Chains A and B, each alone.
Chain A
Amino acid sequence: MSVDTASADAIKPRPAAIVSRRTFEPPYALITLIILIALWQLACLGGVPAFLLPAPYDIAKDLFSHAAYFVPHAWATMLVVILGFVASAAVGLPLAIALSYSRLLNKSLYPLIVGSQVVPKVAIAPLMLAWFGFGLTPKIAIVIAIAFFPVVINSVVGLRSTPPQMIYLAHSMGANLWQIFWRFCLPQALPSILAGMKMAAVLAVIGAVVGEFVGADAGLGYIILTASSNFDITRQFSAIILLSALGMVFFWLIEALEQKVIPWHVSIRAERRT
């Protein structure tokens, strides 16, 4: 037998161990959240005026009693977020691949992409309106401007992270350029690419709201604007809560995708253990 027998035995009961550890995990974050909301409610009962801070109960009442009003607006925002996110990934990932394959592109374009991030995206939002008019297009353009950057940067970092020995190994197997990319570099880069996409998912929601602030006749950003001009602070909170929920669900979706695509990666394994 080999000297590694001890560690081998330690591996075998693994699946059972994970299941039992996961069963007894209390939802700490959820408990904290409930406590915070309760404190908030108490503060409102204790005399914080409703025109400054509406009580959680009133917000919930507004959300549920006017659900029919919120749903189409939430849907409009969601559409911008999803289309903008997909477009960011569709622009960002191929760009990152091109940047990591071409020395010329990398030298001539990469510094500009990084440098372009000093331009405040909110400031160029009205421009997009002037260029693309009303409707979906300007909003998606704003989302791309905000969300594609983390996709590009993280993907480039990931694609560059293939260890030199791995490339040597590929060459010694007679792998061609396509095989090296597909079998070695891309899987190696997936954790970084997905991390970039998670950031993009959150930024896409911000981009959508910015777009709706600048020019829209629908969407949660539009609700916030109109409620603000009517001094309806409860309505503003309702829209903010819906936006946060939207961002959170979207983030979770990408995380679920991560669990599916890179279960072997250390970040996913560490999560399972805690």
Chain B
Amino acid sequence: MLQMVRNSLRGQEPKSFARSGSSTDGSDSSIAIRGVSKTFETGHGPIQALSSVDLNIQKGEFVSVIGPSGCGKSTLMMLVAGLDTPTSGTIHVGPRQIRGPNSDIGIVFQQDVLLDWRTALANVMLQCDIRKLDPVTSTTRAKELLKMVDLNDFHSAFPHELSGGMRQRVSICRALLHNPPLLVMDEPFGALDALTRDQLQVDLLRLWSDQKMTVMFITHSISEAVFLSDRIVVMSPRPGSIETIIQVDIERPRRLAVRDKPSFSHYVQQVTDIFKSLGVLKEDEL
């Protein structure tokens, strides 16, 4: 593992902490993905995960990337985060081309990856410790964020004392502490039960409308993508490429009840039909 750390640090460009997490204003957080392909070398020969992907994401936009397992949607997120490098093509976040780990982002994985030895508050404050931010303003902000996701009473709780949903909320707060202009999330609610998942979706939309960051959200749930997104990027099976992009014109702020509306079902049906035509979803004719 540590060897992996070192190897991936080698390609790292000098990092700028100039923005020191005080504000997102003035920083361009649009994403421009140009002709990006990614091929993994494996023991069974090369596997192409992504094939010439082009995508623009506007500043402040909430974009979901949806596709079948193995379509390379997580790989795409890793490339945007600078945690992996594309075989060909370029990725720009704002004016800057991504060549090494992109530290101007917040990141959330399917696993909450909380540090077991830190309390909820201290886990959020990890950003402050690593980035050497001002502890006083960071603490205030950490408490604000925890309050927004209903964890006001759990500052001093350790991860093992929290439920799965609470842990993931702490990890979202941690990703937002430094006011990142871009939040990337890799199936963040995939391991949660349906009810908790609904709650976290509502929490995420609240945070997003408050913080105004750009969100790139990887999911395999169609209704989750429709409920959250401005646009849905639908990906085809391996080698992953963008099949189509769907603009979701459902009024905001969205409440859970929006899922019962015909327009919502229309979008869900639209994505479902694409997956059927791709052969990802199959059903018998009645």
Q: Does B111 contact A (CB under 8 A)?
A: yes
> How many residue pairs at the A-B interface have CB separations less than 8 Å?
123
Q: Does B191 contact A (CB under 8 A)?
A: no
Q: Within residues 3 to 37 of chain A, which ones have a CB less than 8 A from any CB in chain B?
A: 3-4, 7-8, 11, 14
Q: Does A181 contact B (CB under 8 A)?
A: yes
Whether the Cβ atoms of A100 and B117 lie closer than 8 Å is no
* Partner among A3, A14, A171, A183 whose Cβ is within 8 Å of the Cβ of B101: A171
A160 to B131, CA, bound (A): 24
A174 to B199, CA, bound (A): 31
Q: Which 3 A-B pairs have the closest CB atoms?
A: A174-B103, A171-B101, A2-B150
A-B contact pairs, 12 of them (CB 8 A): A2-B199, A4-B150, A4-B199, A161-B1, A164-B4, A171-B12, A172-B107, A176-B9, A180-B5, A183-B115, A185-B5, A264-B158
* Partner among B109, B117, B126 whose Cβ is within 8 Å of the Cβ of A173: B126
Q: Inside 8 A of A188's CB, which chain B residues have their CB?
A: 115
A4 to B200, CA, bound (A): 11
Whether the Cβ atoms of A11 and B161 lie closer than 8 Å is yes
Whether the Cβ atoms of B117 and A172 lie closer than 8 Å is no
* Partner among A101, A179, A180, A184 whose Cβ is within 8 Å of the Cβ of B3: A101
Q: Inside 8 A of B8's CB, which chain A residues have their CB?
A: 167, 171
Whether the Cβ atoms of B163 and A166 lie closer than 8 Å is no
Whether the Cβ atoms of A184 and B83 lie closer than 8 Å is no
Q: Does A187 contact B (CB under 8 A)?
A: yes
> Which residue in chain B gives the minimum CB-CB distance to A102?
B3
A169 to B172, CA, bound (A): 12
> Which residue in chain B gives the minimum CB-CB distance to A162?
B1
Known A168-B81, A183-B130; further 8 A-B contacts with Cβ < 8 A? A2-B203, A103-B3, A164-B1, A168-B78, A170-B130, A172-B83, A188-B115, A264-B116
Q: Inside 8 A of B2's CB, which chain A residues have their CB?
A: 100-101, 159-160, 162, 180-181, 185
Q: Within residues 16 to 56 of chain B, which ones have a CB less than 8 A from any CB in chain A?
A: 17
Whether the Cβ atoms of A173 and B199 lie closer than 8 Å is no
Q: Within residues 106 to 127 of chain B, which ones have a CB less than 8 A from any CB in chain A?
A: 106-107, 109, 111, 113, 115-117, 126-127
Q: Inside 8 A of B160's CB, which chain A residues have their CB?
A: 264, 266, 269
A185 to B2, CA, bound (A): 8
Q: Does A130 contact B (CB under 8 A)?
A: no
Q: Does B15 contact A (CB under 8 A)?
A: yes
* Partner among B109, B131, B199 whose Cβ is within 8 Å of the Cβ of A165: B109
Q: Does B157 contact A (CB under 8 A)?
A: yes
A241 to B77, CA, bound (A): 62
A81 to B7, CA, bound (A): 40
A180 to B105, CA, bound (A): 18
> Quick one: CB contact mask for B116-157 with A, threshold 8 Å, 1 for yes?
110000000011011100000000000000000110011001
A160 to B3, CA, bound (A): 9
Known: A3-B165, A14-B161. A168 touches B107 (CB 8 A): yes
Nearest CB in chain B: distance from A190 CB, A: 8
> Which residue in chain A gives the minimum CB-CB distance to B171?
A169
Q: Does A262 contact B (CB under 8 A)?
A: yes
Q: Inside 8 A of A3's CB, which chain B residues have their CB?
A: 165, 195-196, 198-199
A14 to B159, CA, bound (A): 15
Q: Does B282 contact A (CB under 8 A)?
A: no
A185 to B103, CA, bound (A): 19
> Which residue in chain A gives the minimum CB-CB distance to B196?
A3
Q: Inside 8 A of A181's CB, which chain B residues have their CB?
A: 2
Known: A101-B6, A160-B1, A266-B160. A173 touches B130 (CB 8 A): yes
Known: A174-B130, A183-B126. A262 touches B117 (CB 8 A): yes
> Which residue in chain A gives the minimum CB-CB distance to B3?
A103
Q: Does A118 contact B (CB under 8 A)?
A: no
Known: A172-B81, A264-B116. A4 touches B1 (CB 8 A): no
Q: Does A175 contact B (CB under 8 A)?
A: yes
* Partner among A1, A164, A179, A184 whose Cβ is within 8 Å of the Cβ of B115: A184
Q: Inside 8 A of B195's CB, which chain A residues have their CB?
A: 3
> Which residue in chain B gives the minimum CB-CB distance to A160?
B1
Nearest CB in chain A: distance from B152 CB, A: 11
Whether the Cβ atoms of B116 and A165 lie closer than 8 Å is no
Q: Inside 8 A of A41's CB, which chain B residues have their CB?
A: none
Q: Inside 8 A of A11's CB, which chain B residues have their CB?
A: 157, 161
Q: Inside 8 A of B131's CB, which chain A residues have their CB?
A: 173-174
Q: Inside 8 A of A264's CB, which chain B residues have their CB?
A: 116-117, 158-160
Nearest CB in chain A: distance from B107 CB, A: 4
> Which residue in chain B gives the minimum CB-CB distance to A191?
B116
> Which residue in chain B gives the minimum CB-CB distance to A175?
B130
Q: Does A66 contact B (CB under 8 A)?
A: no
Q: Inside 8 A of A171's CB, which chain B residues have their CB?
A: 8-9, 12, 82-83, 101, 103
Q: Does A115 contact B (CB under 8 A)?
A: no
Q: Inside 8 A of A61's CB, which chain B residues have their CB?
A: none
* Partner among A164, A167, A183 whose Cβ is within 8 Å of the Cβ of B129: A183
Whether the Cβ atoms of A174 and B3 lie closer than 8 Å is no
* Partner among A106, A160, A163, A173 whose Cβ is within 8 Å of the Cβ of B111: A163
